[in-house]
Amino acid sequence: MKKVVFLLVGLCLVGGGLWWNAAWQGGVGDLLVLYGNVDIRQVESGFRVGGRIVELKAEEGQVVTSGELLARLDSEPYEHALNRAQAELAMQRAEYAKMLAGNRPEDIAQARAALEGARGVYANAAANLRRIEKLKTRQAIAQKDLDEARSAYTEAAARQKAAEEQLQLMEKGYREEDIARQKAAVQAAEAALDAAEMELADTRLFAPQDGIVLTKVHEEGAIVQAGQTIYTITINNPVWIRAYVTQPKLGLVRPGQEVLLSVDARPDKTYRGTIGFISPVAEFTPKTVETKEVRNDLVFRFRVIADDPDNVMRQGMPVTITLRRDGSRP
């Protein structure tokens, strides 16, 4: 009788082992059982500018929402830089407006008056030269007097010509090249102002997505450089599960297919999910594939988007995935 009992127990153990092996390899009946883990998704959040931390509003373990203020830097240096950029832009715009408007009527009138004065001096110098030349023909004056009259005439002619050119420049206004250069200076000042405004805004750090603060790296008063991590935030919505399927069973997994999920933390309950992504590239591929057995060892990664109303799934947690081989809803 004992031998029969031992025989039955042995058969049960062998049958259970075969069933477990079949489940491990991917299915019992019309079900396919696969295994994965909740994907670890983290964001290293930091300032785009450097400075002194004056406020840290989030603590480790705190739930944060997208756009929530997490930390602030001392903004005073960036406010000064913004004021300088605004003043520089105002100065460049004023100069550009001056060039577009041309010279003031008062300046043109002053140049015209200077020309009239130069013309009068020139007329006097010309008349004096003619008088001196007549006297010289009669040997009534010395050669020195004639030379001085000619020099005064030449100088007066040059001053008159310079006054005429100055009046023309004043009436025409600024050269097109000078106006174009000043316009570029205005655009450069505008870009500098935009950069200053952006840097001032970057003294505030906001949560990039909904999540939970995993670590707080620095404390208030610390001097940090641009790009240094201030908070590490875990992204838990949506919940992604990373799993793998062997190459022979790849055809049983399709995007959009519904699956059942179970975790050790709630063995009495199952959750639903949807396959959202299947990698087009095999992983753990050997350098040379020569046999059918080696080909069957290839695996493909896929992603399951999980429904987690109870908020029990944590990053890295193992998950059992069950789906029907025919693709129907389990």
Choice among 56-60, 149-153, 186-190, 231-235 with the minimum mean pLDDT? 149-153
Mean pLDDT, the chain, whole residue set: 83
Q: Write phi, then psi, for 8 (nearest 5 degrees).
A: -65, -40
Across the range 99-105, mean pLDDT stands at 74
Burial class of residue 106, CB neighbours in 10 A (0-12, 13-18, 19+) = exposed
Whether 11 has a pLDDT exceeding 90, the answer reads no
Q: Which two tokens stand for residue 3?
A: 């031998």
The amino acid at residue 71 is A
pLDDT tens for residues 117-152? 888 888 888 888 888 777 777 777 788 877 888 888
- 330's tokens: 């389990």
Sign of the Cα pseudo-torsion (192, 50, 207, 304, in order): positive
pLDDT at 15: 47
The strand pairing partners of 303, in sequence order, are 242, 277
- Minimum mean pLDDT range among 81-85, 135-139, 322-326: 135-139
Q: Give the residues across from 198 on adjacent strands.
A: none
146-202 pLDDT, tens per residue? 788 888 888 888 988 888 777 777 666 677 888 899 999 999 999 999 999 999 999
pLDDT category of residue 62 using cuts at 50, 70 and 90:
very high
Place 16 in a pLDDT band, splitting at 50, 70 and 90.
very low
Tokens standing for residue 219: 């404390």
d(CA 44, CA 58) in angstroms, rounded, equals 14
Q: Are 162 and 118 in contact (CB under 8 A)?
A: yes
Mutual angle of helices 105-137 and 143-172, in 10-degree steps:
160
Q: Is residue 9's pLDDT more than 70?
A: no
| Residue 78 burial class via C-beta count within 10 angstroms: exposed 0-12, middle 13-18, buried 19 and up | buried
| Residue 229 near residue 47 (C-beta atoms within 8 A) | no
Please state, in angstroms and rounded to a whole number, the distance separating the CA atoms of residues 187 and 185. Answer: 5
Cα Rg for the chain, rounded, in angstroms?
Answer: 44
Q: Which residues, at least 6 apart from 232, have a Cβ–Cβ distance to it below 8 Å?
A: 42, 43, 44, 45, 213, 214, 215, 217
> Does the structure show a pLDDT above 60 at 291?
no
Residue position matching structure tokens 């008088």: 131
